[in-house]
Chain A
């Protein structure tokens, strides 16, 4: 249900709104002299037990320090520790109170305004984020990460003029900072200084070609300079990898939360970054906390497989299937490993299971169709190619495979029709013309047509 039928007419009358206050549950509050905000524990009931324990522990430690009238630095650390957990758990309001208290109690500790800056940025409050990063920068003027984040916030506020000197300052401290170079390029792009933007972004990509997200603004810079050919070339290389500044404080936060989801997220990031060993480590930690979560076993199997540990991978995929028999992905992954080992019948079984449980699993349909073709059953491959073409008409391999299966079945007329149609839809792909040429040589009837 998403709507109750009742039309209520509201007149826009240019009225100001008064905010209502809300009652608060019991709070941990430091001694009044410190002028700190009350901090409460949110409802923990639906969190993972391990996270509940972490938060309760940090909260108890804070309460104890308050009760014992601990020195401000110690109290600040306790607030900050709890704030970090809240931030990692995405309880931003609670994190804000903790960090503000920590900063009040330990105004020379750079961590608290720095984390506050990130918290505000996540919450979309860029003015507050800029002010927080500015305070952090005042405490640590030569910190590249703070410079880059403050500059980035300024860029997001539509202030490229304010961002540019900060990126430049970061580069004077760390000339090969990809994040600063990309930022400088974006600031120049925002000012329509296309030449400067292209220079900075080219430099960034020369230092770290993995920074594929920068290809898009680089393409826009060349477009702005009227060089459409280079613009299109860079568009073809665009990706989603963004290289941030080296950021030990935020990195520390990334591994803070003991939850299966947090470990799974960290593992996925490591996988994306090509660090199979680290990824496997994160997934194993996740499994320790949630041994029955099939997705973690599947991801661990994937990391192990990429690291070359096939037996370990098979074991994890089998565990995933055992835990969730209708989970298509481990079936598919098992199929891939079995096919690579030449165990075609078993691989076919696994691929068949994958498409049974997820009928729109394109990769599984393709693997199954290919294997059926290679094992002499092109007739059985055809419907799987049809499914892929229906789901994603862009898939050239399915169109080509379908035509080749028809050739294998000596249904030359249909194969020719299919290849001709595919050639029309994808004129940029040479394989269809080449296949048609081969078909002419193969089939005398086709040659005459």
Chain B
């Protein structure tokens, strides 16, 4: 923190959970920033630092050296492999997205920045190559308006034209320059961080994968340019059940967009009529984190959006056709999250009971007076929230029972969700602004039965982001889940599907709707372990 209240300081960072070395466990990428402004050295930061962190202040890659002991217990250890990996994150980091854009079976890394973005191609040997420029995804302006740098936070790899190659959507945020930083003040005249409406939103970008390592910017021709706001959260999913990937974009203080895929390379924003653009009162909220998931087990993708303090988180319930009803208050989510500024958020069945719960990490964006009065040098800290799905459309706030870490004040931003210790439940990597990252290990979920699936394409073992999985159960409704890495806030998640089965140990059938539209089924898939399902190896339906 520079002490100058530069707006960009409070927006980052995100984090990624991804298996870069294909050894079967999730590695970690942490997004980093540095001191903003010219000429101010790190010791001039408003927060004291215990050691000289300057050399480390760029994005870091940690290899997961998970050891599964003979008794089944896990020993987690991470090794910083940044230098060996060749990843040189050059910008002031904001977020990260993951996906195998070149179909070589190794997951690649896209870094969003305040400034140009970077795409790192995974060389499948533990190293990465910066292909930002040749890929055409850096997002740098090409015209006379280059004086303003791009700024993006969340991005999503998804295959919008069903050609088997991952395309890329990059949500852009605001026009902002450090050298033209607008000073903002609280009503008492005290300097504080601005609100986003002080700056103009930037046009988000959609890149089409040319299948040769390059992308074409199709923002205008796809129709995506028709509507844009200050985008912070992005998630791709099939919202209207037509088996084509759509996009949902959460904007900060402006209506959110629901881009419905028109099957011809174009999208149409149906956000307003769909009912998912803002709350039922007609007020656009400060959308930050976002996720899509079938929380009510009716077979369609419902939306979760985290918002600013005083607004409450939003739950938009899908009727299956892409029309939504806001049920934030009715569900109890909105009311219980009112006092928090939410960022990273996801649908996550933390207790593996077969119902998607939700976890939201929080941190204010303007000074919390009580913390400032207590001499907190960075008075934006808030606790996290965990809501348990009661299976009746309502949620119970179980934060206080979830462990001490949930009561810790952090300025949380990104959150990446995945089974870090491969024990059958979802853990959470929380990226904090000006604070230690926290890895929350779930000790609850694996008390129930579960099924873990990795969905890979053919001929290459690429994670098939966007594939929908139906877990057909004898003693309950079919659970529909999705292979995804996007969602949350500036973060990348475990692409594997992990579905809780509760107390039931009965065998399940698995139905997969691949991103290309085809459906296959597998019978008697083993539970309480991970299974890889390869496209083309099941029974076609």
Contacts and interface: CB of A to CB of B under 8 A. Distances in A.
Given A158-B330, A238-B282, A394-B225, A4 B439 contact: no
Tell me the dominant secondary structure on chain B's binding face.
loop
A26 B483 CA distance: 57
Contact of B400 (A12, A17, A48): A17
Contacts of A8: 436-439
A425 interface: yes
Contact of A216 (B180, B281, B370): B281
A61 interface: no
Given A46-B191, A124-B309, A190-B280, A155 B30 contact: no
B145 interface: yes
A390 B281 contact: no
Given A3-B431, A3-B435, A257-B187, A157 B145 contact: no
Interface string A374-411: 00000000010011001111100000000000000000
A417 to B, nearest CB: 15
Contacts of A4: 49, 53, 434-436
Nearest to B189: A48
Interface in A267-311: none
Interface stretch (B270-278, B462-470, B523-531): B270-278
A232 B273 contact: yes
Contact of A217 (B281, B436, B443): B281
B339 interface: yes
A215 B282 CA distance: 7
A216 B272 contact: yes
Nearest to B274: A223
Interface residues of B, number: 98
B67 interface: no
Interface in B16-58: 28, 30-35, 42, 45, 47, 49, 53, 56-57
A5 B1 contact: no
Interface stretch (B100-108, B298-306, B402-410, B509-517): B402-410
A255 to B, nearest CB: 12
A84 to B, nearest CB: 13
Contacts of B442: 12
A257 B187 CA distance: 8
Contacts of A217: 280-282
Interface in B189-208: 189-191, 200, 203
Contacts of A359: 144-148
A94 interface: yes
A261 B431 CA distance: 33
Contact of B273 (A2, A43, A223): A223
Interface in A324-372: 326, 357-360, 362
A56 B335 CA distance: 36
B84 interface: no
Nearest to A23: B374
A158 B56 contact: no
A32 interface: no
A92 interface: yes
A265 interface: yes
A93 interface: yes
A156 B335 contact: yes
A213 interface: yes
Nearest to B277: A216
B189 A47 contact: yes
Contact of B433 (A3, A40, A89, A394): A3
B189 A383 contact: no
Contacts of B32: 1-3, 5
A383 B281 contact: no
B339 A125 contact: yes
A386 B177 CA distance: 21
A50 B185 CA distance: 14
A213 B191 CA distance: 31
Contacts of B458: none
Interface string B401-431: 1111111000001000000000000000001
Contacts of B310: 122-124
Interface in A126-169: 126, 155-158
A42 B373 CA distance: 6
A1 B401 contact: no
Interface in A206-230: 213-217, 219-220, 223, 228
B134 interface: no
B474 interface: no
B163 interface: no
A261 B187 contact: yes
B329 interface: yes
B403 A12 contact: yes
A10 B403 contact: yes
Contacts of A189: 280
A275 to B, nearest CB: 20
A123 B339 contact: yes
A216 B284 CA distance: 11
B283 interface: yes
A262 B191 contact: no
Interface string A167-199: 000000000000000000010011000000000
A238 B203 CA distance: 23
A214 B282 contact: yes
B93 to A, nearest CB: 8
Task: Determine which residue in A126, A158, A186, A242 has the highest number of CB atoms from chain B within 10 A of its CB, and name it.
Answer: A158
* 7 closest A-B pairs by CB: A48-B189, A216-B282, A124-B338, A158-B329, A124-B339, A12-B403, A393-B225
23 contacts: A2-B12, A4-B53, A5-B32, A5-B53, A6-B436, A6-B437, A7-B62, A10-B403, A11-B443, A12-B441, A90-B188, A123-B310, A156-B329, A189-B280, A213-B282, A220-B275, A232-B273, A257-B187, A261-B188, A359-B145, A360-B175, A387-B143, A393-B203
Interface of B: 1, 9, 12-13, 28, 30-35, 42, 45, 47, 49, 53, 56-57, 60, 62, 76, 78, 80, 141-148, 175, 180, 185-191, 200, 203, 219-220, 225-228, 272-273, 275, 278, 280-284, 309-310, 312, 323, 329-332, 334-335, 338-340, 369-370, 372-374, 400-407, 413, 431-444
Given A156-B335, A213-B283, 15 more contacts: A1-B1, A2-B434, A3-B13, A8-B438, A17-B400, A46-B189, A91-B188, A93-B370, A124-B310, A157-B329, A235-B273, A238-B282, A260-B185, A360-B200, A390-B142
Interface of A: 1-17, 22, 40, 42-43, 46-48, 50-51, 88-94, 122-126, 155-158, 186, 189-190, 213-217, 219-220, 223, 228, 231-232, 235, 238, 240, 242, 257, 259-262, 265, 326, 357-360, 362, 383, 386-387, 390-394, 425
